[in-house]
Amino acid sequence: MLRLLLLLLPLLPVAAVAEPLHLRVQGSNTIGAALVPALVQGQLRAQQATAIEQRPGAAANETVIDARDAHGQALRIDIAAHGSSTGFSALGRGEADLAAASRPITDAEVHQLKALGDLRAANAEQVIGLDGVAVIVHPDNPLPQLTTAQLAQVFSGQIQRWEQLGVAGGAIHLYARDDRSGTFETFKALVLEPNHGELAAWAQRFESSDALAERVGADRQAIGFSSLAAVHGAKVLAVAEGDAPAMLPERPMVASEDYPLSRRLYFYLPANAKPQAKALAEFAQSPAGQAIVAEQGFVSQQVKALAVPAQADMPPRYRNLAQQAQRLSVNFRFQAGSASLDNKALRDVHRVAAYLRQAGKLQSKAVLVGFGDPKETPGRAALLSRLRAQAVRRELARDGVEVLEVTGLGDELPVAGNEREQGRLRNRRVEVWVY
């Protein structure tokens, strides 16, 4: 017996090495189809992993990546991209270590997963990039834009012919993502529900944004919606909400979240997350990870300075800024019903400070401009918008930024309608301008 044990002992380390470290990512097809595999491979390369191989999984929209880390340890990453809701369900069943979502977690999901910790905490809810839900039609369609109210009428079936929108084309063919999709949940939350609409029963449904866009590009009568990263040659319409001007999902408008159908892309980690899950989330937040987000067709959170053309209808102080300074590509936004910065804004504070430090503009070069929604009391909107900007200044000061000026423009220059709460929330923002 002793001799047998002595013979088996040398084999134990081999058995330990043979068992791979395993990471399971489930959720959004928008993120999981290409972005998550690209982030995984980027992280593995950054850690000097070798023998990196990617292959299809057991079912459609599933991917497996195998590798060996710098110490020779086998690694396996399983990615299942069947829709945002499936990621939260898999977390609850213990079948995923990290959920990828193209929409925020719901109150019901937070409650159902409370055993995993507060999934809205800053370390749990991590914004890894931005996307615009693009409204797409056939390239030959002459229609330039639609309002969110018109979109709701089209996709609920109240408007069924292109002629009702002022262009020729006959019957409108509807293409939509499936019910598990975060893209559909975003469209429903931003377009259908605010206008009391439900998706028409005859809409054709797709698990994949790529497949949907391909069908729209081949159908002259089609209209659909997809991730900005999956337009694939279809024509993209400008979208207007309320009294705000129509906007295309151009990268600066999505980066600032001014585009009406902008959305955030998330990783959600449980409180006791695996080291591999934490490492992937940290890499996604890094400059290298954000570069991959941009390479995959999404909008990164890397801070850039952008020139803004001065317009005659701008408030005088704002027009002076447009003439003399540049606007940074990030807006700070706040928790609902609060003057506290939201989870994305807390990380953006550090990104803005890092940008200003690198540009040599930490001291008295930045101007903060706060905006809000209308209030009944005269002057209150301007006051509250200035207080929001002051809150951002306090956070930036902790990172060594000395702001030149703080101003509040109240309810001027709205980016959304103020009739509904979601529009008012988008209008409550703080811009950063730099001389």
Q: Which tens digit of pLDDT belongs to each residue from 272-314?
A: 999 999 999 999 999 999 999 999 999 999 999 999 999 999 9
Residues 34 and 77 in one domain: yes
Output DSSP code: residue 341. B
Q: What number is the average pLDDT over the span 262-266?
A: 96
Question: Is the separation of the CB atoms in 265 and 129 below 8 Å?
Answer: yes
* Residue 317 to residue 100: CA distance in whole angstroms: 41
- Whether residue 428 sits in one domain with residue 319: yes
Locate tokens 């988008």: which residue? 426
- Interacting residues of 285 by C-beta distance below 8 A, sequence separation 6+: 126, 128, 347
Instruction: Kindly give the interhelix angle for 287-295 and 275-285, rounded to the nearest 10 degrees.
Output: 70
Burial of 90 (0-12, 13-18, 19+ CB in 10 A): buried
Alpha-carbon gap, residue 133 to 55, rounded angstroms: 29
Q: pLDDT per residue over 364-384, tens digit each?
A: 999 999 999 999 998 999 999
Helix (H) or strand (E) holding 324: helix 316-324
Say yes or no: 312 and 380 in one domain.
yes
Please name the residue that has the structure tokens 């999956």.
230
Q: Are residues 182 and 86 in the same domain?
A: no
Shared domain for 411 and 329, answered yes or no, is yes
Under DSSP, the state recorded for 189 is: I
Do 174 and 194 fall into the same domain? yes
Question: Can you give the pLDDT at residue 15?
Answer: 41
- DSSP readout, 348-387? HHHHHHHHHHHTT--BS-EEEEEE----SSTTHHHHHHHH
Task: Give the confidence band of 8 by pLDDT, cuts at 50, 70, 90.
Answer: low
Cβ atoms of 245 and 65 closer than 8 Å? no
Strand, helix or coil at 139?
Answer: coil
Domain count, the chain: 3
Question: Against a cut of 0.85, is the pTM above it?
Answer: yes
Which pLDDT belongs to residue 330? 96
- 100-144 pLDDT tens trace: 999 999 999 999 999 999 999 999 999 999 999 999 999 999 999
Residues 213, 331 within the same domain: no
Question: Within this chain, do residues 216 and 283 fall inside the same structural domain, yes or no?
Answer: no
Residue pair 381/410 in contact (Cβ under 8 Å)? The answer is yes
Nearest to 326 by CA among 369, 275, 375: 369
pLDDT for 420 equals 85
Question: Is the domain of 316 the same as that of 383?
Answer: yes
Sequence-ordered list of residues with C-beta below 8 angstroms from that of 88, at least 6 positions apart, any chain: 27, 99, 101, 105, 109, 112, 113, 268
CB 367 within 8 A of CB 407: yes
Q: What is the reported pLDDT for 289?
A: 98
We report the CATH number of the domain holding residue 419 as: 3.30.1330.60
Encode 192-208: b = buried (16+ Cβ within 10 Å), e = exposed: bebbebebeeebeebbb
Same domain membership, residue 95 and residue 21: yes
Task: For residue 167, give every residue at least 6 positions away whose Cβ sits within 8 Å of its Cβ, in sequence order, or none.
Answer: 141, 142, 143
**Host domain of residue 10:** 2-127+264-295
What values do phi and psi take at 147, rounded to 5? -85, 165
The CATH number for 162's domain is 3.40.190.10
